[in-house]
Every structure is written in structure tokens, then in C-alpha cells.
Chains A and B, each alone.
Chain A
Amino acid sequence: MKRIVLVIGMIWMQLLAFAQKNVRYDLYIRDTTVNFTGKERHAYSVNGSIPMPELHFTEGDTAEIWIHNELNTETSIHWHGLILPNEQDGVPYLTTAPIKAGKTHLYKFPIVQNGTYWYHSHTGLQEQGGMYGAFIIHKRDEKPMQEYTLILSDWTDMKPEQVHRRLHMANDWSAIKKASVQKGAVQSYGDAILSGRLKTKLGNEWKRMLAMDVSDVYYNTFLSNGKPEIQAPTFRAGDKVRVRIINGSSSTYFWMRWSGGKMDVIASDGSDVVPVAVDRFIIAVSETYDIVVTIPSDSTAFELQATSEDRIRSTSLWLGDGVKQLVSPLQPLKYFEGMQMMNDMIRMNGNLDDMGMNMSLQQMDMNVVMYPEITGALPKKKKSHNHMDMTNSDQYKSNDLSDIVTLNYNMLRSPVKTTLPDVKTTVYQFELTGNMNRYVWSINNKTVSEADKILIRKGENVRIILYNNSMMRHPMHLHGHFFRVVNGAGDYSPLKNVLDIMPMETDTIEFAATESGDWFFHCHILYHMMSGMGRIFTYENSPPNPQLPNPEKALKKLYADDREFHFMFQNDFATNGNDGEMMYMNTRWNLQAEWRLGYDKMMGWETETHLGRYIGKMQWLYPYVGFDYRYRKMEMGETERNLFGQVNTKDQRAALCFGIQYTLPMLIIADFRIDTDGKLRLQFMREDIPLTKRLRLGLMYNSDFEYMGSLKYVLNQSFSLSAHYDSDMGFGGGFTFTY
């Protein structure tokens, strides 16, 4: 191992002397065990480290990188932000052959740019497990300057596959975990009543929104170069240090703040910008920013802090040596303010309404209503909600509201003109769409596998107008190209390869189509990408890709990512019977089974199985076909009569049924069905009403005059204590197992 490093080091030194040569790196990918939190977990290491090694090149070099896959599974490496031949891009099955277990793969491409980039696995969820590293390209005539590379990441003790599966179940375990660090993350009715915001919570649920959050996943820790905090003690007073910051996390945005004064932002996504001094900036997932800071004094270590957007935790880099100069922690988000804002912004049909404010380029941050440092601390006493003047857009402009200068995309300006060649421009309209409840993420309500590839022609320009009609922000990344983020700088609009777009924003990006082959454009939040939020741009008349001899078959493998089915199971083991459900679902389809199993004939057995498809962007409508089986011993002369006057006297029933489910305001699921015996049933059900952080209420009533009420106390991610009353089975208590 050491020898490899040495060899690389020697090659590197040589290359410094004779620049513009082959630079070779060997990367050995292995399974490893890490312990970040006191628990041992599986992760991926490369050359024995997490993150992957920091690679350095000089513009004009040729990169020769050998990947040795010592895993039992296949892998891939994508060079994020690099301009390179299509087959070197590293998206398995789209541009590059996957690197099979035990195999070695060579990436070789000329380095034609400079700046701060990174590389990561593009296979499954491997990135979350440690496969990310810095890729630094120096300018040929770079002025020597002190620098430091900081790669940020997020770590969860839960297996990434489980994180992904649970996101699709709308399970709020993540919020419960967050609430144990910081109150209020669950946004329960209890919290709402205590803070006098019951109306806000009701309004939220009326508009069919689950608890809001700025991020979906609970992370146990955040890492700076693979550690919760790191020291860079060599810097002295007066030193100007270029810090290259890379957000290599899977789904965490970070607020960057520095305790030694202002930071000069000098580059974004690898391309230079005119330096701009800021107090703080948010770095989206997969973005890179280069900043210059001046060390104000000696005997002091100054903190460069990265706080997750949900403000649950942070990670720090200390520049300098000595007593530590802190940055104040960011105060918790004012969730109920955010919920009120969402109530105001969302229409009944689930579309967002920007009230004609033409939001763009991160200038107007609706979330400022939740930031105590900008909009003040929560009022101590309950006050009638001072309803905001919704048409006054200034109230969301962070930089007008306080002295804190927050970077936004309109402050980025390229030092050189970035205008595109004067050729034909094709315009695409992308509406970013999503559904939090089922965790479906798409563009124009179509996932990658549901949409056709977008055909573009070399030599023309492509302009994309993005509108974010979902409730989350999305870092949209384009492979193999830089795009202009059209902003107030006009001809000097900055070049980037990731665009963070906030809810309700409309942004325009454009690029010259100068390459060939297939290029991925996708949301870089790993779980959004895996759910299908992306598109493929494909150049007309591209030469066949030697790495993919059977492109159609390969594409199916790529599409399999967002076609994946997720399984969930829940059973309540209670004194009066078993009550449970099972789901096997993907983006549109859901195979559900529900059962109520009594312990004797009088209680009976009952199962319902449905196969259905979710309709529409919000997926509130779910028509299905199903099969019911029921056995219940009736007493002599007992008849069951329903709301529709229909009578049942049979002990045993088996029937096919057809029905539709529709999610009503307050997240009540209405289920109307008819079976092959002609029986009708209308049922209303709401589960998981959050009463307190861990207490959940469920209610059900139907036209067979059956009803049910239940209380669950969530113990951990798999078990809850439960108590319920059921019209068929009476009182029962027990525990619920959830997978």
C-alpha cells in the first residue's frame, strides 16, 4: 500500500518537473468496516481510505487511472464535472462498461480544463458508502498559493439500501431521530398545539402534506475528509488560503461559515468567478466552491464550519493552530413558519404557486422564514399569525433582510465572456415533479425509464428552462458539459455543471452541444436519482460505443434503477388477533395485501389483496383490482347489513373486487369498491397521525359499519407498542413489527 503511494508520489514529482505527461493513479476498491459512531458498519475504501485519494493533475496532462475492483459486486467511477470522451464518463450501462467484481478497468483521457472537481461511484448507492474523492486540476501557470482541499460527506449507520427503501414507505423514523437531536422535527399535533400553531398543522394536512423537512435522511454524522472534524494547523497569520470545498455527500446540503471574517468565493464547480465576498453560502449536493480566506491571527485555529441544511449536525475544518475561534451554531429551523409558508404557496391540486414572484437563482429563499438568524427568533408568546404580504417578494430576499451576506447564483459572474456560438438553439421545458409521500421523483412526471432519450444535434445550442414544482430543492447535474446559468451578468453568466434549484424557482441554463454520445442529466441527491429524476441527452449519429456492445440491453440495466420494486411489511401482533399489511411497489404500481387474522372462528380471518396503479403527478388516485377472502363463523340468524342496505349471511366469502382509492385532504384515504357479489363498500382511513414525537393515531370507518381506532408508540425503526379497538375483534394490545 505504502509503496503504491510512494510510486504515485514519485510519478507526481516527476510530472511536476515535466508537466503535460501521463499521470497514472492506481485505485484499489475494497470492502471495509468502519466505525464512525461506535457501531461497526460496512463501507467502501479506496487505497485503504475514505474518502478516496485526492487526485492531482495539471491542465494538459493525460490522466491514466487504473481501477482495481476487489469487491464482490460491480462498480464504476464517474469523473464529476470533467469534459471527456463519452465512453470515459463512467456511468455504467450508459457510457461505460461496468467494472465487474475482481476486474481492472483503465480510464484514460486528456485533461482539458482546470479547477476543483471530484469523482465517485455511479453504481447503485455505493457513493453513500464512501466512494467519493477530490479531483484537482491545477492551472499550467498557476501562481503558487497555499491551499487545502475539503471534501464533505454524510454518513448513516443504516444500510443505504434500507434508507432508500424506507424513504419509499413514507416512514417518519428519520424525523423521530432528528427530533431526538433537535425538538420539533416531527411536527406532531402535540408540538403544534404547544406552540400555538394547530391551525398551521391542520392547513398542512388539509393540503395533503406530510411533515415538512428540508432534507429526507437522518445522518449520524457529517464528515470533513472522512473525519467529524479536521485540523490544518500549518497556516499562520496573514496567510491567504485557497480552500477547495467539494460536497461529496449523497443527500445533504451544507451551510458554510467561517469564523475569521468574510470568505472570497473565487470559483464554482471548477470554473472561476469574479471574487465575491460573502458571510456564508450553501453548497448543494455535488457542487464545488473554491474560496480564499485570510488567517487573521496566530495562536488561533479558525473554524470553517459546514452545517447540514436541516441544522441537526455540523462538521468543521480548523485552519491555524491554537485556541479555537468558534462560529455560532445555526439555530434550529422554525418548522411551523415553514409549514405556514408552504400552506400559502401550495394549491389544493398540489401544484406550487409562486404568487407571481418569478423566483430564480437562489435569490429569494422561501426558507428564510425558518432561519432565526435572518428573520428573528420565534416570538415567545403566541401571536396571531402576522400574515405576510404574499405579493411582497422582498421578504424572502435574505440579503435585504439582514447584514449577513449569503451567496446566491445571481452574484456569480464569469471573468470572461461565456456567450454561446450564434447557432440554432433548441429549448426544453423541464418541470421538476415529485411526490414526497411515495418518494417518486421525476421530470415532467416521467422518470428516466418512462421517458425517451432527448435527441440533440452537435453544433447546436441547447437551452433548458427548469421549473421546480416539487417541495424539495434539487441539485441538477449535467455530465460532460458546462452550462451557462443565465443570470444578471448577461454575457458573463457563470459556467457551472450543477444547478441548485429551489421550490418554485424557474432557472434557465444553456450549453453548446459540442460532444457526442449519451450524457446523463439528473438530480444529484442520490435517492432522487435512483428514483428516476433525470433525463438522457443523446447526440444524433453518435459513433457506436465500444464499451457497450449491446446498447439496448445495457439501457435496460440503467432503467432498472428507477423501476425497482420496494417491499414493506407490517404486522400488529395483538391480544385480539393479527392485523397487518404488505406492499410491493414501484414508481406507479403497488401490490398490496392486508389481513386481519383472529385467533378463533368467531373472530374470523379476512384478507384483501389489491394490484393497482397510481395515477397523476400527486398520485392521489389509485384504481385497483383485487381479491378478497373472508371467513367468519356467524351465529344462528345473524345477518350483517351495510350502509347500502345489502345483506350478508355467509360464513365464508371469496370475491374479486374493483375499487379506487383517493387521498382526501387531511391525508384520509377514501376507498370505494364493488365486488363480484355486487357488494359495495366505502371506507375512510387515516393512519399515522402524529400526536407527539412517537405517538401515532389511526382511524378507520366503513360502510359495513366496521370501525377501528388505534394508537401506536414508536419504539425504534422496527417495533412499536400498539393498542387498538376494532368493531370485529374488540380491544387488543400488542406490538407492531414494521419492515
Chain B
Amino acid sequence: MKKIQHLMLGMLLLVAFTSCASPIKNAKTEILKVAGNCEMCKKTIETAANRKGISSAEWNKDSKILTLQYDAEKTTSDEVLKRIAYAGYDNEKFLAPDDAYAKLAECCKYERMKKDVVVKEPVAKVENTTASAQEQAAETNLLEKVYTAYFALKDALVKDNEAAASAKSTDLAKAIKAVDMSKMSAPEHTVWMKVEKDLLMHAGRIGEAKDINSQREHFSLLSKEMYDLVKVFKADQTMYLQHCPMYNDGAGADWLSLENAVKNPYYGSSMLTCGKTTETIK
């Protein structure tokens, strides 16, 4: 018994010793932004960041702030942030590889840091890109009416209002037909050609259907196409891609919204706040 006690004491001392023995030399502290959701994220992020005697980090899940201490002669904060990104977490310097993010546990699937910001640079600074600047100006409003009609349709479904949904889908179909393709750039045009027919078809079906379940079914397919569009055609406002994991017997479905708060168009009042934001599109 005593032996065990001694052993324990010895081990404790050893632990104390090693943790004292490896303080970080040439320590430098930095405050860095790292995305993440939960306690599990915290563990993964800190494991990726910590290297005995070289770097030690603490991540706060509420503020998304990583307090990093490291040996400035042996490593850099970039190196640490790169490791964190490889572990699946976007941060201020690196975005995680898509496959690393995909491997994260469901609860860790945080809202990814924006990738799609269009930098509005002063025209003077941009050389030889007048053409693309024009494109950007044009594309901003190209689908504005389509987007407006889509969100009106979504709101009707949120309110369980079949008749309104039907009317709004007719507006949507009109807006789609009115889009001026001549102003589109080549990649935009490709995407548009891909989705246009389906959009019209789904909008038409929603208009015809007198039953809200069937409307919602088409709305889920319509939303998929819309998502493809917003990826390419930048909108003026920030949009949120939201996900309802329950819809269609657990297959799940997405929709787009202008607000971060969840208002589920697939279940309406019966389960209004079910779902979560999976992506912010700016």
C-alpha cells in the first residue's frame, strides 16, 4: 500500500516537475480568432495547437478567441493556426481544407468563415479589370427580383399560408422569366442555364398545388437550385443557408433566409425554430 502511495507521490511530483520544467521560453502571446462550436471543438483546437514546451493555447467557445502562447524562436502563430485549420477549424489566417471540415462531428459543424466576400476595391487601384468591375456592378442586382420573390414565398410557407405561397410562386416565375441573361458573365450564364428550367418548373408546381405539403416538397428542391445561384450571383444582402434535419423523414432540407434566426418553412408554426444556420453567404 505504502509502495503505491510512494509511487503516486512520485508520479505526481514527476507531473509537477515536467509541467514546471517545460515552461515556454521566449514566450509570446497572441489573441487569435478561431471558429468553432462546442466543448468538443475546444478539445480538438487545443490539441492541434499545443506542442509541449513550444506552444500552448486556450480557446473560448463563446468569444471564439484563442489565446496562444508560443516560443517565438521555435514556431510562429501561423504554424499553429495552420495546424488548427488542418484539424478542421477556420481561423483568421487559414481556412480548413473542405475534407477536414467534413470529418468533424455533427455537433462541431460550426458556421464556416466567409469565403465569398466581394472586395470592393477603389476603381483607381484596379488596373485592366474595368470589364470585371462592370460585371460586378451588373451582377449585384441581376437577380434581385428573383431573390425577393423567393423570400416572399418562403415567408408564406413559414406562415403555413397555402394561398399566399401559390401567389408568390407566380411572382417568382415572372421574375425568373424577366432576368436579362445578356448581362451575365460566362460562369454565371452556365449556372443560370443549368437551373433556370428547374426553377420555373418548381415555381409552377407550387402555384398549381393546393396542398401545402406538396408545395413544401417543391420548395425544398427549388431551394437547392437557389443555393447554386446565390453562390455565383452575389446578392446585396447577407444570406443564410439554413438546414432542417427532420424534413422528409430525416433526409433533411435546406433553405435560404435573410435573417440568421431560424424560421422553418417546412414545418411552419408546428416547429418554427427547428433547424440551424449552416452557412453565411455574403
A and B: partners? yes
Q: Which residues of A are interface residues toward B (Cβ below 8 A)?
A: 236-239, 259, 294, 296-300, 322-329
Once bound together, how far apart are the Cα atoms of A480 and B132, in whole Å?
Answer: 42
List, in ascending order, chain A residues with CB within 8 A of B92's CB. 323
In the complex, are the beta carbons of A326 and B86 less than 8 A apart?
A: yes
- 7 A–B contact pairs at CB < 8 A? A236-B119, A238-B187, A298-B117, A298-B118, A324-B93, A326-B96, A328-B99
Looking at the assembled complex, report how far the CB atom of B75 sits from the nearest CB atom of chain A, in whole angstroms.
15
| B95 and A323 within 8 A (CB) | yes
Q: Is the CB of A300 within 8 A of B119?
A: no
What is the CB-to-nearest-CB distance from B108 to chain A, in angstroms, rounded to a whole number? 17
Q: Are A328 and B97 in contact (CB under 8 A)?
A: yes
> Is the Cβ of A299 less than 8 Å from the Cβ of B97?
no
A324 touches B94 (CB 8 A): yes
Residues of B contacting A296 in the complex (Cβ-Cβ under 8 angstroms): 115
**How many residues of chain B have a CB within 8 Å of chain A?**
25
Q: How far is the CB of A228 from chain B (nearest CB, A)?
A: 13
- Classify the secondary structure of B's interface with A: loop
Let me know if B5 is at the binding interface, CB within 8 A: no
Assess the A326–B117 pair: CB atoms within 8 A.
no
- Report the separation of the CA atoms of residues A329 and B187 in the bound assembly, to the nearest whole angstrom: 30
Known contacts A238-B135, A325-B97, A326-B94, then 15 further A-B pairs from the complex at CB < 8 Å, ordered by chain A residue:
A236-B119, A237-B116, A238-B187, A298-B116, A298-B117, A298-B119, A299-B117, A299-B119, A300-B95, A322-B119, A323-B90, A323-B95, A325-B95, A328-B99, A328-B100
**B185: chain A residues within 8 A (beta carbon):** 238
- In the A-B complex, list the 8 residue pairs whose CB atoms are closest, starting with the nearest: A328-B97, A325-B95, A298-B119, A299-B117, A297-B116, A297-B115, A324-B94, A326-B97
Q: Is the CB of A238 within 8 A of B132?
A: yes
- When C-beta atoms are compared, the residue in chain B nearest to A298 turns out to be B119
Alpha-carbon gap, A296 to B115, bound state (A): 9
Instruction: Let me know if A328 and B86 touch, CB within 8 A.
Output: yes
Q: Which residues of B contact A327 (CB under 8 A)?
A: 97
A383 to B198, CA, bound (A): 50
Q: Which residues of A contact B114 (CB under 8 A)?
A: 299
Q: How far is the CA of A300 from the CA of B92 in the complex (A)?
A: 11
Contact surface of B with A, Cβ cutoff 8 Å: 82, 85-86, 90, 92-100, 113-119, 129, 132, 135, 185, 187
Question: Is the Cβ of B93 less than 8 Å from the Cβ of A294?
Answer: no
- Inter-chain CA distance A329–B48, complex, in Å, is 15
When the two chains form their complex, are residues A294 and B82 in contact, meaning their CB atoms are under 8 A apart?
no
Instruction: Contact check, A325 vs B86: say whether CB atoms are below 8 A apart.
Output: no
Contacts A259-B97, A325-B95 given: A294-B187 contact, CB under 8 Å?
A: yes
Residues from chain B with Cβ under 8 Å of A326 in the complex: 82, 85-86, 94-97
A259 nearest CB neighbor, chain B only: B97
> Chain A residues with Cβ under 8 A from B90's Cβ?
323
Which one of B86, B94, B98, B129 lies within 8 Å of A323 (CB-CB)? B94
Report the nearest B residue to A404, measured CB to CB.
Answer: B99
Bound Cα distance from A322 to B119, whole angstroms: 10
- Closest Cβ neighbor of B133 among chain A residues: A236
Q: Which residues of A contact B86 (CB under 8 A)?
A: 326, 328-329
What residue in chain B is nearest A239 (Cβ atoms)? B132
Closest chain A residue to B85 by CB distance?
Answer: A326
Option from A238, A300, A328 in Cβ contact (under 8 Å) with B115: A300
| C-alpha gap A300/B90 in the complex (Å) | 12
Partner of A236, one of B82, B85, B93, B129: B129
Contact assessment for A325 and B100 in the assembled complex, using a CB-CB cutoff below 8 Å:
no
Closest to A327 in B: B97
Tell me which of B86, B96, B113, B119 has the highest count of chain A C-beta atoms within 10 A of its own C-beta. B119
List, in ascending order, chain A residues with CB within 8 A of B187's CB: 238, 294
| Cα-based distance from A294 to B188 in the complex (angstroms) | 13
A260 to chain B, nearest CB (A): 10
Residues of chain A lying within 8 A (CB to CB) of residue B93: 323-324
Provide the bound-state CA to CA distance between A329 and B114, in Å.
22
Find out whether the CB atom of A323 lies under 8 angstroms from the CB atom of B119: no
Asked whether A323 lies within 8 Å of B113 as measured between CB atoms, the reply is yes
In the bound complex, residues from chain A placing their C-beta under 8 Å from that of B82 are 326
What residues of B have a CB within 8 angstroms of the CB of A236 in the complex?
119, 129, 132
* Residues of chain B lying within 8 A (CB to CB) of residue A237: 116, 118
Q: Chain B residues near A329 (CB, 8 Å)?
A: 86
Cα distance, A298 to B118, chains bound together (Å): 6
Q: Is the CB of A324 within 8 A of B97?
A: no
Q: What CA separation (Å) do A12 and B18 show in the bound complex?
A: 64
Q: How far is the CB of A25 from chain B (nearest CB, A)?
A: 26
Q: How far is the CA of A466 from the CA of B172 in the complex (A)?
A: 62
Give A565 to B94 CA distance when docked, in angstroms.
Answer: 51
Q: Shortest Cβ distance from B78 into chain A, in angstroms?
A: 9
> Which residues on the B side are within 8 Å of A328 (C-beta)?
86, 97, 99-100
Residue on A with the closest CB to B126? A236
Q: What residues of A have a CB within 8 angstroms of the CB of B113 in the complex?
A: 323
CA distance A239 to B185 in the complex (A): 11
> From A303, which residue of chain B is reached at the shortest CB distance?
B97
Task: Given A238-B185, A238-B187, decide whether A325 and B115 contact each other with a Cβ distance below 8 A.
Answer: yes
- Complex Cα spacing A238 to B132, Å: 9
| Neighbouring B residues of A298 by C-beta, 8 Å | 116-119
C-alpha gap A297/B280 in the complex (Å) = 14
Complex CA gap A299/B93 in Å reads 11
- Alpha-carbon separation in the docked complex, A300 to B112 (Å): 13
Would A324 and B95 be within 8 Å (CB), given that A238-B185, A238-B187 are in contact? yes
Q: Residue of A at shortest CB range from B98?
A: A259
CB neighbours (8 Å) of B132 from chain A are 236, 238-239
A196 to B254 Cα, complex, angstroms: 47
- The docked-state distance in angstroms from the alpha carbon of A294 to that of B190 is 14
How many Å from the CB of A118 to the closest CB on chain B? 28
- Name B96's closest neighbour in chain A (CB-CB): A326
The smallest beta-carbon distance between A306 and chain B, in angstroms, is 16
Shortest distance between the CB of B110 and any CB in chain A (Å)? 15
A298 to B135, CA, bound (A): 15
Least CB distance from A592 to B in Å reads 46
Docked CA distance A323–B84 (Å): 14
Given contacts A236-B129, A238-B132, A328-B99, contact A297 B94 (CB under 8 A): no
